[in-house]
Structures are given as structure tokens and as C-alpha cells.
Structure 1
Amino acid sequence: MNPNFWRVAHASAIGLAHINQNTECQDRFACRTIETAAEGEILIAVVADGAGSTTDGQTGAAAACAIFTEEVADFLSAKDARVKSLNEEFGRRWIGYFQQQIAATAAADKKEPRDYASTLIGAVIGPTAAAFYQIGDGGIVFSPDGAPESYRFAVPPVEAEYVNVTDFITDETAAERLRFVLVEEPVEDLILFSDGIYAVAVDYQSNRPHEPFLMPMIAPLRRGGAVNGLNEKLENFLASPKINEKTDDDKTIILASRAGATSI
């Protein structure tokens, strides 16, 4: 594992429900690396799912992704800041700032903050530690070494009977409902996905990641070969009849690996 070279692929595909309703995809995502004084390259990845029952969920999701990445990058720009310095309190402060921004947007648009409701899952990974944040549904899967049995959820997935019940970062109780996990070991592989692919990405019998679905998708990144065109292939796969038979929701996935990679 090269601690300072991430290979990344990502895609979103609109769900059939939104196609039939003539509405846009309400999932949004962001993924970037930053250079820090204390730890070198840090990966920041986030997926947000705008609530389908709202008028501007996609706007809230886009704002959540942008503000999360900006706030994390700003926090880690301090001279001695490290990933393991991130904590639950940082997440709560971020939620407060996000809600202030959304309240201002809502007031300007003559709407309510709940009109911008969205979930959020975020990952921040450095050389020797990873911080994970989650509000609402979605999946964060990681592995320290890429072995199939080592892939695990940062936060246990929503149980099948509760898949349509979730929390949003616009909720008054969002800070209380925030789930934070700090992993103080190197993370080699990362997979983030919205709840639109729960049906194929989660093995509900074992409450584990569904390896037959996820492993083939991250394999090209682990091999360290060319990834040209992989984003397009992922998007086509998420939009395929095979996936749409399982779900009519929007679908988003971020894949990242630093296995077998060499810096250029």
C-alpha cells in the first residue's frame, strides 16, 4: 500500500422513480484529495441523498457535499492537524454551520429548511487513521488490507424493515443523531454508496457488505491498472436493467483504493 496515492472511481445514476416523475437525480457526491503539512495526502469522500419528498433535496445534497469537503479541508490545513484529530464535536459544529447556510438559502427562496432535506455519509482517510461521519442512510465500507473477509461497515446498515425511515441533516435533532467512527489503523480500500443500492450492496442475513456485488467493482482500482473510462462504465452499470430490477431509487457509489499503486 502506498499511503499517498489513491485511485478513485465514482458514478451516479438517476432512479426509475425520478425518471417516471420527470424529476432530476437527487443524489450528489464529492471526492478529492488534499495535501497537508502533518500527514501528506488525505482523501475526502462524501455522498448525500436529497429527500425525494422535498422540493429541493438535490440542492441540499449538493450543499452538504460542498460544505463538508470545505470544512474538513480547512480543519486539516492547520499545521499540526491530523485525521485522528477529527471527532464528533467537529461533526456537530459542521452540522450547525450547514444548517445556518441552508436557513439563509431557504429564507432567500421563501422556503423552509426542510425543503432541502438530505442525508450524508462522509469519509476522511489519512496514512494511519480514518474518520467516518453518517447522518441518515447510506453505506460506508472499508478494508485495511483488501482481503474479502476484512471489508466491514463503519456504521451498521439500516435494517431492512426500516430502509424508508431515515434522518436528515436539516433535522433539529441531526447533531444528536450523528454517528461518528474513528478507525486508528491504515485503510486501504473505501466504498461509499447511497441507499439506492442497499438491495444489492448489503447482505442482510449477515449484516455485512455483499462481496459478490462490491468486490468486482473495486477490483480494477486494486489492480493498479488504467482506470480510463471506469466512471462511465460504473454509471452504465448503475443505470442497467439488472440494477433497476432491484431498485427504482437514485444510485451513487464512490470507490477508492491505494492497493498496488505507485506514485507518478
Structure 2
Amino acid sequence: MASLSGKVAIVTGSSRGIGRAIAEKLGRDGANVVVTYAGNQAKAAEVVQKIASFGSRASAVGVDIRKLEDVKSLFEKATAQFGKVDILINNAAGVNVFKPTAEMTEDEYNSMFDITRGVYFALQQAAHHLADNGRIVSISTSGTTMAISGGGAYAASKAAIEHFSTALAKELGARGITVNTVSPGVTETDGLVLEPEQVNQMIAQTPLGRLGQPADIADAVALLVSDHARWITGQSIRANGGIV
């Protein structure tokens, strides 16, 4: 029997990149998966088809994580289709802006913290809807523990998610629900905007000697939602090859 057989997972922002790798990994492990997308329905359909090839069920739902009504509807649709929700993976992200504090615009700042607010209310919905002994994992960044020039607003928007999660872990512990975050380092996706020289510098600073891959993050998430991690909660796991 697959390790997640009978479980139902929501993975936000899962039409591509890390989110897609997570959704497909959970489907491969036996979970039925709700794939969410912000704009690329065709890519989300590909993920659904891939999960179906593993013998699991999946559906695609368009969601703007910044809108509370969309977040509420997401959980309602998942429950209506699959009967329950056991796992929430908060992966949806916007455009990450790296600028000196003196140059950051209000709109750029808000664009990142609007996503953070959406994650908070997704956690709230999970608190209402998740089955007992459920699992919540939110994707953060290893940058929350580093002082990076131009990264103050971005890192703070992710650090807030880590604090949301540690508080919720205490609130939901009595129900057997674990709440953790996974903090990737630099990961090779189509959203990676570093110049080749910067990529080489990051690799040189990484003890394991390469960039992260989406599958590296997906495997860490899969561990946390499995029964093997039943005693791990309120933690931020750095999946970054040892760079920090």
C-alpha cells in the first residue's frame, strides 16, 4: 500500500516548479491531490494527468491565493470532491522582489505580503477543515536566517509564514495535526533569475556542490506529511544542501 493511500492533499501553486514536483510526489505516494493554479490551466491539467498515471485521483482548481473567497472555495471544492482534506501544502508564490530598502516601492512590497496574507488565511481554513492527524507544510526560504542585501522585504514575508506555522502547531497539536515549514535554498526552476556567475557562486558555497532541484524539496515535504514524521511539528526544515 502506498504511504499516503486514502489521503487527500491540497497543493497550492502546483502547476509548475516546486509545487508541481510536490503534487506529483504526493500523488505517486498514493494521495488524491487538488492541484491549484493562478493562470496556467493547461499546465495544471498536465499535472492532473501525471498524477492519474500513478493511479491516484486529482483535480485542478484555479485559485488566487490573495483572495479570501478563493481560499474558502478551494477547501469547499476539495471536500465536496474528495470528502475531506488531510494535507495542505502552501506553495503558491508571487514575484519575489529584491531591492534595497531605499528603492522598494509600495506596490512591490504589497505584492509579496499579499501572498503572505493569503497563506495565513489558507492556514486558517486548514484549521477549520483538516481531518484530525492531518499535515500542514508551508514553503518558506533559507533566506530568513541570512542578511541579504535587497532581501529584507522578501525574507520578512517568508519569516512571517514560519511564525504563523509555529503558532498553529501549538494550536492544532491536540488534534494530532502537525504544522511545519520547508525552507529551500536556491532551487533550479524556470523562476530562477540569477545570472550564470551568481549561480556558480551559489554552487561554490553549497557543501553538497550543486543547486537544489524541485524533487529535493518535494521529497522533504513528502517526509513531513508521512507517518514517519508524526513526531515533528513546529519546525522549519532547511532543504538547501547545507548552504546556510
Category of TM-score, reference length = shorter chain: 0.3 to 0.5
Q: TM-score, normalised by structure 1?
A: 0.34
Say which structure, 1 or 2, has more relative contact order (CA 8 Å, 6+ apart).
1
Greater fraction of residues in strand: 1
